[in-house]
Amino acid sequence: MIKINPAIHLIGVMLITVLSILPLSTQAKDLVYITKDLAYLDVLHDGKKIRIKRINDTSNRLTNSFTKTSRPCPPFCIHPIKLAPGIKTVGEIELLDFLNTLVKQGTGVLVDARMPQWFEKATIPGSINIPFTVLTPGIGNRHTKKIVELLGATESRNGQLNFSEAKALILFCNGLWCDQSSRAITSLTKMGYPEEKLFWYRGGMQAWQQLGLTTVTP
């Protein structure tokens, strides 16, 4: 089993800062915008300025593993649009707004819940890697507890965790057939993480890349 140093994976929380959305009048005349009013969003990822935009080659096609249409089910079964009653599912525009508001304010974290070997291939700018396996053991595990505390939970006098100051999280993995982010969310809710602070980007890396949006290699 891969050993994860929680401090290393979460140090990025302090580094992720959304810089700006330039007015449309100052943006380059791209052919493919994100929305009709938004050409790109600048963020900091691991201390470097990254511009999230769409590939402007309208003939571009995916050539990686995300071109696959079918995977064995089980285990790679299609997830419903609603993961759980209290968990809100979000799309790309909501994710970008999350980066520009809660992450910018320091009250939100974009979490890539995939195993490190997936994260190292490519991820969404502004995200940090917390593999779902790190959360699986629950708060009885000191490493898992440390992760949750770094996300804003505090320990009360009776030894229980207080989530009143916990950060809002958007979690994602490879796509609507991938279990890694859903399992991470399930583990967090079992630990008491408030459902209203958990959001699921169901489309994940497959939908992100199919839209031609920027990825980074950590």
State the residue for tokens 């053991």.
137
Q: How far apart are CA 45 and CA 13, in angstroms?
A: 10
- Is the distance from CB of 111 to CB of 170 less than 8 angstroms? yes
Q: How far apart are CA 48 and CA 7, in angstroms?
A: 19
Q: How far apart are CA 133 and CA 27, in angstroms?
A: 41
Domains of the chain: 6-61+71-210 (3.40.250.10)
215 closest CA partner among 113, 100, 127: 127
Give the three-class secondary structure for 75: coil
Straight-line distance from the first to the last Cα atom of the chain, in angstroms, rounded to the nearest whole number: 21
> Model-level pTM?
0.86
Show pLDDT as tens, one digit a residue, over the chain (218 residues). 434 454 444 444 444 444 444 444 444 466 899 999 999 999 989 889 999 999 999 999 999 999 999 999 999 999 999 999 999 999 999 999 999 999 999 999 999 999 999 999 999 999 999 999 999 999 999 999 999 999 999 988 777 899 999 999 999 999 999 999 999 999 999 999 999 999 999 999 999 999 999 999 98
